[in-house]
Structure formats: structure tokens, C-alpha cells
């Protein structure tokens, strides 16, 4: 896991310049560390995921990342709202299927979107 911490540190200058790719990678690294119970990375993962949605408000991958962070951190209501947003964005890409979610990802988004609304 030290390699993930090292990667996060090396990405920081690009993150500071709002580089979407660097933010996404750093967020993914924090999310991986959350999954491995390697300390508290929830705050940083949440900040980075939120920044992605601010920089790319209609970006499907930004919202997927945000929803996954919220889900992994146990914030079910925030995750549900993000998955609702994902499904709206996905539907907007109806005429461009290459930009849409895969069937598997769409089903997961639907499942998690409805998880908290019962």
C-alpha cells in the first residue's frame, strides 16, 4: 500500500491544478485504501470526488466516482442521490451509446438508487 500513498503524493501538484485525470486517479487510490481499511481516507476521497463533479458537472464518470465514494463511506442517502443523477446523465446519452453506462453499471446504479427509497 505504500505505493498508493506515494502515487497520491506524486499526483498532488496536478490535483492542485484541477487536472481531471489526476483528481480521478488520486480519488481512486483513496477509494482503494478505504476498501483495504488502511486508515481514514474518506475525507480526502470525498473532497476529490466532489471536486470532479464540480469540474465536470455532467460527466458520467465524475458522478460514478462520487457515488462510489459515498457508497463505500456508508453515506447511503448521498450515494442514492448521486446514483439518481447518474441515471439522468446516462439517459441523456441515449443517442450516443458509447458514452452510456454498461448494462451492468446501469443495473448497479438502479439498484443502489432504489436501495434507500423503500
pLDDT digits (tens, 9 = 90+) for 59-104: 999 999 999 999 999 999 999 999 999 999 999 999 999 999 999 9
CA–CA–CA angle 43, 24, 67 (5° rounding): 60
Residues 6+ apart with CB under 8 A from 21: 14
- Domain spanning 2-115: which superfamily? Tetratricopeptide repeat domain (1.25.40.10)
| Backbone phi and psi for residue 17, each to the nearest 5 degrees, phi listed first | -95, 15
Q: Is 86 helix (H, G, I), strand (E, B) or coil?
A: helix
Give the residue extent of every domain in the chain. 2-115
* pTM for the full predicted model: 0.86
Whether the per-residue pLDDT at 37 is higher than 50: the answer is: yes
Amino acid at each position: 500500500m505504500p505505493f498508493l500513498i506515494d502515487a497520491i503524493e506524486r499526483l498532488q501538484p496536478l490535483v492542485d491544478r484541477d487536472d481531471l485525470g489526476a483528481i480521478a486517479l488520486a480519488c481512486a487510490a483513496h477509494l482503494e485504501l478505504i476498501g483495504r481499511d488502511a486508515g481514514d481516507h474518506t475525507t480526502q476521497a470525498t473532497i476529490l470526488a466532489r471536486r470532479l463533479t464540480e469540474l465536470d458537472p455532467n460527466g458520467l464518470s465524475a458522478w460514478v466516482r462520487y457515488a462510489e465514494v459515498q457508497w463505500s463511506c456508508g453515506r447511503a442517502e448521498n450515494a442514492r442521490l448521486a446514483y439518481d443523477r447518474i441515471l439522468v446523465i446516462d439517459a441523456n446519452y441515449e443517442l450516443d451509446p458509447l458514452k452510456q453506462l454498461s448494462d451492468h453499471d446501469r443495473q448497479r446504479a438502479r439498484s443502489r438508487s432504489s436501495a434507500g427509497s423503500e
